[in-house]
Structure 1
Amino acid sequence: MTNGVVPSQGLRAMITAGQIAAAPEVTTAQIQPASLDLRLGRRAWRVRASFLAGRTRTVAERLDDFAMHEIDLAPGAVLETGCVYLVELCERLALPPDMSAAANAKSSTGRLDLLTRLITDRSAEFDRVEAGYEGPLYAEISPRTFSVLVRPGLALNQIRFRRGEAALDDAALVALNAEDRLVDVEPVIDGGLGFSVDLRAATEGGLIGWRARRHAGLIDLAKIGHYPVAEFWEPVRPGGHGGIILDPGAFYILVSREAVSIPPQTAAEMMPYMAVAGEFRVHYAGFFDPGFGHSSTGGSGSRGVLEVRCHEAPFALEHGQVVGRLVFERMAEVPDLLYGRDIGSNYQGQALKLSKHFRAP
């Protein structure tokens, strides 16, 4: 296979070759166009602090320093807001020496402000797997806004594999946009495709976002379309100055001004914006699959949902303010599955949308 992001058919080949193994076995539902969903195993630990294994030690060895108690997820377990947990994943890897990987939270995970990061043995980085890695996988989970009920088999994060250099530089991105329009507005291309926030309501006094309610109830992550929105979220409408003022410590769901389209021969990842932008962070599920919002899958552009948390000081966020950038990567091959056409895709054609656990408002 040529350099680039490994597509769905390549993931199946990796499973057959034993480069991806799992107990229980990997299911068809886990295979996405350009990534693999990772499932929670049965063993978890409440830990006193977030940690990395470091270059010379395994995660299991570091648990002796940080574990407070072990948790069996089989009957269901509550992960509480403000706590940090480590969960052993069902999958393990035996990568070839020319293949690396990166992980990210799934869309629904990010929209619940559920910080989820991948950890591997002998590593000093979250969400990155070095080329040739062989060993187990763990998820660090820290609920920030809502306490959640989890069980084995739930997928909160996903992993994307690549060979060689896959990222498109700005010149290649300009050429791709000329050939296959990537956004429905004039693109801002500088170290990737700029993403800005939409704070203009469709009608006067209309909705532009959601703000999480503090001290809301428990969310069972297995329940889809179950929870009433009003018990967990309050609507956000434009302020008198045309934007909104973010409150310190608050969590918001907003939407991008741009409707994006991901051509089938590419994948994309949303990258954090520099902290110099102000007292806020856009913390999002970062993977955009081939076919997302694209005409080949019946799409006409899909907005990017932005998960925004304000830091220490109130911050005035303005309409059209750049809050992130999409870095595009070439696929090693066009996937035989595409987002919105061949898989059950919850967010194709989305605008402002909460996670799949809530009823339509």
Structure 2
Amino acid sequence: MKKRVHVVPHMHWDREWYFSTEESQILLVNNMDEIMEMLESNPDYPSYVLDGQTAVLEDYFEVKPENKARVRKLVQAGRLIVGPWVSQTDEMTTGAESITRNLLYGYKDCIELGQPMAIGYIPDSFGQTSQMPMILNQFDIQYSIFWRGVSERHGTDKTEFYWESDDGSRVLVQLFPLGYAIGKYLPTEPDALKERLDKYFKVLDKGATGATELLPNGHDQMPIQQNIFEILAQLNEIYPDREFFLSRYENVFEEIEKHENLDTLHGEFIDGKYSRVHRSIFAQRQDLKAMNTRIENKLTNVLEPLMSMAFDLGFSYEHGLVEVIWKLLLKNHAHDSMGRAARTKFTVKSRRATKKLRSAATA
């Protein structure tokens, strides 16, 4: 039986890292225009994944609001895959309610355009919290894709398994054993293409529980690969024992759900054996992390309960005002931002944003 290699076009979008949000936004406008042009002009190009976060679209619409109808049409057609998150959060340094609101408001954003991707897509979070399956199940999400934190020390050397929380909630996981960028900028030269993928297939073959394998075609801020059909033709010629085709993550899960005797793992995943989980970020800019925790507590334990009591007394409950505060906070929770992995000048900007949040939450 031929191995089926699902090539999934995507981009991973860091709103800030070694570049500012504004610099990222400049790249985003060009990338989004090229993505939409490809989807609209080429029916054989099935779909494109926008990194599972709606903040990308918010930044794009800020510059090109006139393209919202085009985006909506592509989302509703299942061609442009959006959500389910607002931002690609860090799971280990943010509160449980923040992670839940990240999904809640992400879903709300997606429904205005079409339907969210019903996958707990967390390609770059620096470790996985043990209760993520429970949170995902609350939104009727049964699948998850992530990269960091797992090794055979958790109980399996396979890349497909079930992940179960303490309450019995569980999701089916497709692991990125080598990260989300192994299919970035695939070369056209056959020897270079084979040399590169031969190394990856050794790992993918070992981890697969069946004939299904995943090759994500994207990277940080990477433009869409315009010559992907040429690449696919070469891959199918180089590897006659494999079938390469453009796909989407949902199709991967449809196949691995049929695999029998998948292992079930429990607990959090913060093992750095195969991927960096950046434990040192806990000590990075403690002032901002402490301020974030105070804001989370103020929102969930003071502001919203008081607003609920006021509502019972006849006052209006202004959901929109609360959402504005939450969404600004959630953008601060992006893994590089919350981990304070960004350059110093951008951390200063983040500090200003955090102070603005504190002011809004205590107003």
TM surpasses 0.5: no
The TM-score, its normalising length taken from structure 2, stands at: 0.25
Which structure has the greater CA radius of gyration? 2
**Higher strand proportion, which one?**
1
**Higher helix proportion, which one?**
2
